[in-house]
Structure 1
Amino acid sequence: MKNALLTLLFILSGIASYAQDSIKVSYSQEPDTLVRQRFIDRYENVFMTKVPTRHMFKVGYQGSEVQGMGINFGYEYKLLPSLSFEAALFAQFSEYNEALADHLLHFNWKQVNIWVNAKARWYYNMNRRIKKGLNANNFSGPYIGFTYDQSVFLRYQYTNTNTGRIGLLYGLQSRFFNNGFVDFSVALFNKEAGANSYVEGSPAFWKPKNYVLGTNLNIGLAIGDWKKTKTAPFCDIIFCDELVKGQWKVQMPNISIGLKNQIVRTEVAYERKLGKIPLSMQGDIGFSLYNNNWFRSSPTRSTSVEGNLQLRYYFLRNFKERRGKSTSDLSGPYAGLLGGYNFNFIKSRYKYQPEFNQNIETRIWNTALLLGYQQRLFKRIFFDASLVYRKSFLVDDTYLGRQKPFLTSKMTMGFTF
């Protein structure tokens, strides 16, 4: 009997085990509610700080009140992570920082001065940034430099052929996307590049009156030994989706300041969006000072203040908005109308011929048609370039309106607030 009970318990336990194994198990998958996100290093995508570079050919527009305006062709080579050397050829269209379109419209290669330049740059914080993983060995960053300019062809036969000039630089150079670069610097030179310096004798190196402090902007195309990288969408980098109703703009100043000669030019503007349509209104005030004391017996000072109102139409904004590529960020191509008023005052003094002293006041009404492109970058930087078809009217001119309209250009870089 006892054996029969044990056998029965064994059979029941086996049946129970079989019943448990026969239970069906099902599996299911649910989609993850977390959306995959892409993190963009905007600074790196624009300025290519983490792309190593050792060679770079540059072709750029150069504008400076000291070195003049023209096209600069340069080659820069990295000898050490913090040290580079550059050789350049500068086709100087003007001794002063004038509009590029004026000279291209009436271009004559016989009127171009040719300069050569040698430059050494010390990127003083490059090694530290490389160690921290913030930078690769390239040409992007602040620097301290030494430069030497020498003319090889001058369109006029000057009496002084000793036109070599040395300078100490402090600047910032950076790559801009795959094939762009920008270089802004402040330099102390031992002589100026204006026409008067060619006429005088060789200026003494040790005399402070022969030194001049000036700014220089060089912006253009760059080709090097880097591989083109896939950057994030343009608008993801420069905040195209930012809604901007108004902005203050301050131009980077153009200066040439010495004891004998001073030039200062700058501009402040405020731009305001008008309603929901792609229109904006801009008011700006520009100031320029030119003080010439090259010849102590006949100093000259010219001061100019100009105020303008612009109506701008960003004609591609609606097209971009429909494709989700932009909002009203006051960036993009535009067409515009300008009206303004300019006041000029020129004062000349002649020590030995006071009868020739002059105090000239000129008031001018300006009208213009504009076609340009403006771009905000990182909320605090802007670039604005335009072609300008301008007509001026002298207020005190007996033959009002005799001035002919002319085509010119304007390029501005600066900061927004």
Structure 2
Amino acid sequence: MKKIEHNKLKLSNISLLVFVCLFIFLNFFQVAVNAQSGIQTDTTARKQDSTVKYLTPWEYAFMMNEETSWMFKIDFPATFDFNQIKLGIEKRIAPGFSLNLDIEFYSNSKNQYEKFSSERFSGLNASLESRWYYRMNKRVKQLNVARNMSDNYLALGFEYGYQFNTYPYIFSTLDLYAKWGVQRRFLKYGHVDFGVKASIDLLYGRHVFTFNNFIDVGFAFTKDKYKIDRNILCPVLKCYAGDKFIIKSNLSNTFGTLLSKVAISIGFHPHIAFERKISHSSFSVNFALRPGINYHLINFNGSKSDYWSYSVNTLLEGRWYYNLKRRMLKGKSGNGLSANYLAIGGELHYENKYYYSFDSFYPDYVAPKLYIVTGWQRLFGKHLYYDLNIGIGYKFKTKNEDAGIAWPFNIAVGYRF
């Protein structure tokens, strides 16, 4: 009976917290919409601020010529096992300091085994953090950039998480965390935020410590003053470059660490991809490989064990860059691999130990599928890229998978050679 009352009390607290976060978020959103409605269209070009002439093309692409006091963000965290969307609002509260509120919804996208289908879940995270843009004041004085939110930062905050579909358990977390991050606006509406994050769960004395890297990619909206001059951006957009072969390294989910009273888990998951253009056509072949290795030490119910597990995810696809010629005619790209595309391919995922509960695993998990996706790949400067795609696929029946529809959604941000 006490447990039921405790759960009811906890649910009421959860509801109150979610309501407060939504209330704050909606108020910020209303301010953002009202301000955005007052922006003049790009057809009424304005004279660029004199600070532009002091900026490099990269600083200009990162919108460092625009004074920014608030920003509304829609992001898609680049993770391997989850589908996520994050809504956020950031408001400057003092020179070099801001408050950032995020509400994130997620679900596990990896298909569970037929006999363990109840392990599918979704959840909500709400976080509030204070950010210190530790270089901003110096950059404003010495480099003549506008006071904006495209800079490196340190952050300290709280995050509350609630996971659904875990009946009869109620799973929630309350984390205190610290971050070092790099946030950049890109060409008015683009947004990326990446770095490293360390957190500790404060609920019920669990003291679970995690340390991992993160990458959020999406859109940012604010009140801008000037129209973008794309003639300045050719060194960034590589307007006339024609790459025939690139090696790509996706930096999302590269490493992760978890420390608690009952478990230690350390994982390393590098990613590398090779893409070759077919002659001078708009077609290419893309091959990607993500190996993974994990170490686990578990001390549960008086039983102690440690082990290694490994995984590999590989795909091969053909791509058609359907708007490449149009981008070339507009001077936005050379005859390379920076355009929108359609792709048809196959993917295979293997894990020697797939955990469906805290201390139970299923050996030799295999998940093959075919898919068709539409995507957006852009190459920037000499070494940067992003690649986003979404589509539909077909999962084949295996000993631990049912045949059925798959919904691929992938984000890659990283370094290229």
For 1:70, which of 68, 81, 84 is the aligned residue?
84
Q: 1:140 — aligned with what?
A: 150
Distance in 2 (CA, whole Å) between partners of 1:305 and 1:56 is 38
Distance in 1 (CA, whole Å) between partners of 2:330 and 2:94 is 46
Alpha carbons 1:65, 1:216 under 8 Å: kept: no
- Deviating more after overlay: 285-294 vs 302-311: 285-294
Q: Deviations over 1:134-157 (max 9, x none)?
A: 522111111111121124785546
Residue type of the partner of 2:67? Answer: P
User: In the TM superposition, what is the alpha-carbon distance from 1:408 to its structure 2 partner?
Assistant: 1.9
Alpha carbons 1:78, 1:138 under 8 Å: kept: no
Q: 2:376 — aligned with what?
A: 373
Q: 2:75 — aligned with what?
A: 60
3-state SS of 1:271 partner:
strand
Q: How does 1:286-305 map to 2 (within 5 A)?
A: 286-289=290-293, 293=297, 296=300, 297=303, 302-305=309-312
- Deviating more after overlay: 131-140 vs 284-293: 284-293
Alpha carbons 1:300, 1:347 under 8 Å: kept: no
Corresponding position: 1:280 with 2:295: no
User: In the TM superposition, what is the alpha-carbon distance from 1:165 to its structure 2 partner?
Assistant: 0.6
3-state SS of 2:92 partner:
strand
Q: 2:216 — aligned with what?
A: 218
Q: How does 1:351-370 map to 2 (within 5 A)?
A: 360-363=363-366, 365-370=368-373
The number of aligned residues is 346
For 2:106, which of 74, 87, 93 is the aligned residue?
93
Alpha carbons 2:78, 2:217 under 8 Å: kept: no
Q: How does 1:124-203 map to 2 (within 5 A)?
A: 124-151=134-161, 156=166, 163-191=173-201, 201-203=204-206
Q: Deviations over 1:235-286 (max 9, x none)?
A: 7241131121111100113132123234443310111111111111222211
Distance in 2 (CA, whole Å) between partners of 1:61 and 1:87 is 15
Q: 1:353 — aligned with what?
A: none
Corresponding position: 1:306 with 2:316: no
For 1:229, which of 227, 230, 246 is the aligned residue?
227
Distance in 1 (CA, whole Å) between partners of 2:164 and 2:392 is 31
Distance in 2 (CA, whole Å) between partners of 1:360 and 1:311 is 32
User: In the TM superposition, what is the alpha-carbon distance from 1:46 to its structure 2 partner?
Assistant: 1.4
Going from structure 1 to structure 2, the CA distance change for 1:339 and 1:288 (only over 3 Å counts) comes to same
TM-score (norm 2): 0.71
Residue type of the partner of 2:387? Answer: D
Alpha carbons 2:376, 2:387 under 8 Å: kept: yes
Alpha carbons 1:148, 1:165 under 8 Å: kept: yes
Distance in 2 (CA, whole Å) between partners of 1:64 and 1:413 is 11
Alpha carbons 1:58, 1:75 under 8 Å: kept: yes
Alpha carbons 2:79, 2:252 under 8 Å: kept: no
Alpha carbons 1:42, 1:238 under 8 Å: kept: no
- Deviating more after overlay: 216-225 vs 230-239: 230-239
Q: 1:270 — aligned with what?
A: 274
Going from structure 1 to structure 2, the CA distance change for 1:300 and 1:416 (only over 3 Å counts) comes to same
Q: Deviations over 1:354-410 (max 9, x none)?
A: xx987722455543323211111122111111124333446xx589x9622422211
User: In the TM superposition, what is the alpha-carbon distance from 1:164 to its structure 2 partner?
Assistant: 1.4
Q: How does 1:1-40 map to 2 (within 5 A)?
A: none
TM-score (norm 1): 0.71
Q: Which protein has the larger Cα radius of gyration, Structure 1 or Structure 2?
A: 1
Distance in 1 (CA, whole Å) between partners of 2:396 and 2:171 is 41
Distance in 1 (CA, whole Å) between partners of 2:145 and 2:218 is 22
3-state SS of 1:190 partner:
strand
Going from structure 1 to structure 2, the CA distance change for 1:315 and 1:225 (only over 3 Å counts) comes to closer
3-state SS of 1:164 partner:
strand
- Deviating more after overlay: 252-261 vs 275-284: 252-261
User: In the TM superposition, what is the alpha-carbon distance from 1:293 to its structure 2 partner?
Assistant: 4.9
Alpha carbons 1:82, 1:124 under 8 Å: kept: yes
User: In the TM superposition, what is the alpha-carbon distance from 1:173 to its structure 2 partner?
Assistant: 0.6
Distance in 1 (CA, whole Å) between partners of 2:337 and 2:320 is 10
